């Protein structure tokens, strides 16, 4: 049965949506069935990132019992499946956020991984997304404000009795203004799933409305997301020596 991951951050602008999309695309490139759900109902971005800002059926329709969850799935040209939310404020009225848990669990019989792109902050929407998850993945950057807000989100997940799989540092530049990695790990006390370096190709991928996994598969950011996806699946990275040994065994 599928596992539901809630991708969360303490604040906006740290690469949460990009991470949700590219983790999904990386898992998909490894042969896994994935659905990325835009659980950020107030300010949805999945559709905008992937060139589908307006679609006939959205998560909003499902939460209002106007459609079934399978009717809201769209397949991007990259092969990634997504469930966008509506950009319309009208479609936001009357929605019960707690129903996200009910509708996303219906997806478990139809895919292997469900990734929820959560809203930033600590509001009811974020709480609903975390509550719907089997595991939480925390996204942050190397600056103190981002890490501090990530810590608050971690505490919320712990209050909801959710397992936090680990954290990802995005847009890492290696500058002195960034917190030392050891300090971040001491603050969060979580496994480090990976570090995604600053990469100009991320902006190029956004313009193309595709995951960087597909537009620039050999870029630094793409390789980082691919390695995180392998780690999520328990696949060890093959060194040149291990590949040589595998060929000898054939």
Which CATH number covers residue 62? 3.40.50.300
HSE (CB half, 13 Å, CA atoms) of 139? 29
CA 5 to chain centre: 8
User: If you ran DSSP here, which 8-state letter would residue 44 be given?
Assistant: -
Here the tokens at position 25 are 């695309």
Number of domains observed in the structure of the chain: 1
Global pTM reads 0.91
φ and ψ at residue 207, rounded to 5 degrees: -65, -35
Reduced to 3 states (helix: H, G, I; strand: E, B; else coil), residue 223 is helix
Q: What is the pLDDT of residue 242?
A: 45
Distance CA 80, CA 82 (A): 7
Give average pLDDT by consecutive 10-residue segment, the chain, 250 residues: 92 93 97 96 93 91 93 94 88 81 92 95 92 96 94 96 97 89 95 96 96 96 96 73 45
The closest of 90, 77, 74, 102 to 41, measured between CA atoms, is: 90
Sign of the Cα torsion 208, 209, 214, 217 reads: positive
Q: What is the pLDDT of residue 14?
A: 93
Q: What is the pLDDT of residue 237?
A: 62
φ and ψ at residue 74, rounded to 5 degrees: -125, 140
Q: What is the pLDDT of residue 249?
A: 41
Element (H, E) at 229: helix 220-233
Structural domain for 54, as ranges = 3-249
Contact criterion met (CB below 8 Å) for 133 and 101: no
Reduced to 3 states (helix: H, G, I; strand: E, B; else coil), residue 215 is helix
Q: Tell me the pairing of strands 81-83 and 74-75.
A: antiparallel
Q: What is the pLDDT of residue 236?
A: 67
Sign of the Cα torsion 162, 163, 164, 165 reads: negative
Contact criterion met (CB below 8 Å) for 139 and 225: no
């Amino acid at each position: 049965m599928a596992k539901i991951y809630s991708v969360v951050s303490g604040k906006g602008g740290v690469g949460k949506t990009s991470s949700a999309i590219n983790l999904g695309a990386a898992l998909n490139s490894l042969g896994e069935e994935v659905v990325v759900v835009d659980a950020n109902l107030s300010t949805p971005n999945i559709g905008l990132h992937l060139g589908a800002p307006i679609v006939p059926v959205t998560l909003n329709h499902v939460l209002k019992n106007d459609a079934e969850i399978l009717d809201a799935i769209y397949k991007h040209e990259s092969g990634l499946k997504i469930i966008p939310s509506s950009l319309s404020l009208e479609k936001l009225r009357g929605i019960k956020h707690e129903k996200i848990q009910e509708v996303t669990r219906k997806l478990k019989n139809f895919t292997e991984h469900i990734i929820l792109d959560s809203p930033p902050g600590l509001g009811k929407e974020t709480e609903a997304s975390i509550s719907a998850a089997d595991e939480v993945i925390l996204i942050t950057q190397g600056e103190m404000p981002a890490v501090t807000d990530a810590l608050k989100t971690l505490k919320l997940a712990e209050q909801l009795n959710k397992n936090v799989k680990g954290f990802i540092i995005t847009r890492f530049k290696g500058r002195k203004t960034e917190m030392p990695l050891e300090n971040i790990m001491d603050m969060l006390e979580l496994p480090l799933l990976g570090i995604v370096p600053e990469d100009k190709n991320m902006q190029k991928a956004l313009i193309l409305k595709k995951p960087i996994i597909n537009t620039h598969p050999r870029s630094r950011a793409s390789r980082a997301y691919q390695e995180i996806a392998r780690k999520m699946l328990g696949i060890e990275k093959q060194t040149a020596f291990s590949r040589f040994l595998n060929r000898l065994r054939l």
